Amino acid sequence: MSARKLQPLAHGALNRCFGCGQANRTGLRLKFFVDEQQTIFCRVRLARRFEGPPGHAHGGVIATLLDEAMSKANRQFGVLAMTRQMEVEYLKPVPLGAPLTLIGRHLEASGRIHHCDAELANENGVKLARAKGLFIEVDPSRLRDVSAARG
């Protein structure tokens, strides 16, 4: 990742998002970057509170990481899309506290439908998990309307 020219991703995320919201003290607080090929990158170390099997990440947290990377792969193009379908392959146990790299890519779009993939690797580049997902683009004002109605 060091040879790539990375720019912080200005994604306009909701402040309390579990994945990337910096105001969510119990969330993952992920920070994403994008390179010249529009690939999304994130460095992460998972805290013990995300434990599943002893010393390793919970499968739901792994799925969340992959979903976030794919979401940001859409967001970099100004697309707000929600996950419709996601397939996760858990390849190896994901250790807690170890440096990990999360990568997301936007593969193709047709109308409101967007296809993405993501992978999670250890510091040696060994893939630990990967996913592919189908996302449906939504109008951001509809989400604000729902949020405002809840007060």
Confidence bin at 15 (pLDDT 50/70/90): confident
Kindly report the backbone phi and psi dihedral angles of residue 71, in degrees, each rounded to the nearest multiple of 5, phi listed first: -60, -45
Mark out the alpha helices in the chain (DSSP H runs).
59-75, 140-150
Torsion of CA 131, 124, 49, 67, to 10 degrees: -20
Q: Distances in Å between the alpha carbon of 65 and those of 37, 46, 143, 149?
A: 21, 10, 22, 29
Kindly report, residue by residue over 73-94, the tens digit of the pLDDT. 999 999 999 999 999 999 999 9
Mean pLDDT over 28-52 rounds to 95
pTM of the model: 0.89
**Of 3.10.129.10, 3.20.20.70, 3.40.920.10, 3.10.150.10, which CATH number belongs to 7-150?**
3.10.129.10
Answer whether 100's CB lies under 8 Å from 120's CB: yes
pLDDT, greater one: 15 or 122 = 122
Confidence bin at 1 (pLDDT 50/70/90): very low
Confidence bin at 14 (pLDDT 50/70/90): low
